[in-house]
Structure 1
Amino acid sequence: MSTELNKQVAREFFRRFDAKDIAGALATMTDDATWWLAGRPEAIPTAGVKTKAQIARVFQAMMDQLKDGLRMEVTGAIAEGDQVALEVVSHGELHNGRTYRNQYHVLVTVRDGKISAVKEYLDTQHVVEVWFTPQT
């Protein structure tokens, strides 16, 4: 595939996620896709390498805690070969009153028109504070 088509595939994932179409976002991924999230798994339960099924559960758990989904805006994308590097910003309001806003660098690998691997870099301290720190 061309680099432009690879960018379209990567952007389509985030377009569907932004529209709260998690099943549609997952459909842009290969069955054997992996998703790596930054952080230490002992500190952040969602960190580390996840299978497609595991990341689907992570996404659903997030959606269950959000009032109206998680806005995801791709602000930049460059591609070379089968890889696409994206800058993404997010925003979401949780049912517990907390606000989640993060910035990401996401490295996407595309194989045969679908996402086969993702590496997601983000502010892990913000993840801990918003998603995993008990409210007082």
Structure 2
Amino acid sequence: MIALAENRWADADEAFHPHATWWIIGQGELSHARVRALATETEGQLTKHDLRVMGTVAEGNKVAVELRGDMAFPDGRTYCNTYHHVVEFEGDRIIRLHEYFDTFYVRQVFGGDLYERKIETAAKQPI
């Protein structure tokens, strides 16, 4: 989770199965590669990338993770969302990840048309 927040994708990629999918609230199901592109577009400009794990619960091949982000833009504005991930493993690699966060807050920080732009762009990309 920390590697993802810090955009250290090469480190994070090693944890994901080659066929891993993400389901993101407001976005639907996306490939890991597509999530990388979206994160780079929205969070790549951030100068601070702190993420704190608040708690975890594990059962079988799934782990639920509650996180709090503390991020900042170059102009000093902050982005501090709360996240909930449900991570499903196949062997020792992530095969599926569900991500929940405050979409209203995302719209406030990144603009009201963020989801519309992402959904339109995602629809043109292979999953």
Deviation at 1:19, TM superposition (A): 4.6
TM-score, L = length of structure 1: 0.74
Q: Identify unmatched segments of 5+ residues in structure 1.
A: 1-13, 40-46
Q: Does 1:57 align with 2:37?
A: yes
Q: Is the 8 A contact 1:18 1:73 kept in 2?
A: no
What is the alpha-carbon distance in structure 2 between the residues aligned to residue 53 and residue 114 of structure 1?
16
Moved over 3 A (4+): none
Q: Identify unmatched segments of 5+ residues in structure 2.
A: 114-127
Deviations 1:70-116 (A, max 9, x none): 21111100111111011111011123543111111110001110111
What is the alpha-carbon distance in structure 2 between the residues aligned to residue 81 and residue 15 of structure 1?
23
Deviations 1:11-55 (A, max 9, x none): xxx13234542221122111111111112xxxxxxx221101101
* SS of the residue 2:44 aligns to: helix
Partner of 1:27: 14
What is the alpha-carbon distance in structure 2 between the residues aligned to residue 18 and residue 55 of structure 1?
12
What is the alpha-carbon distance in structure 2 between the residues aligned to residue 51 and residue 85 of structure 1?
20
Aligned length: 113
Q: Is the 8 A contact 2:7 2:44 kept in 1?
A: no
TM-score, L = length of structure 2: 0.79
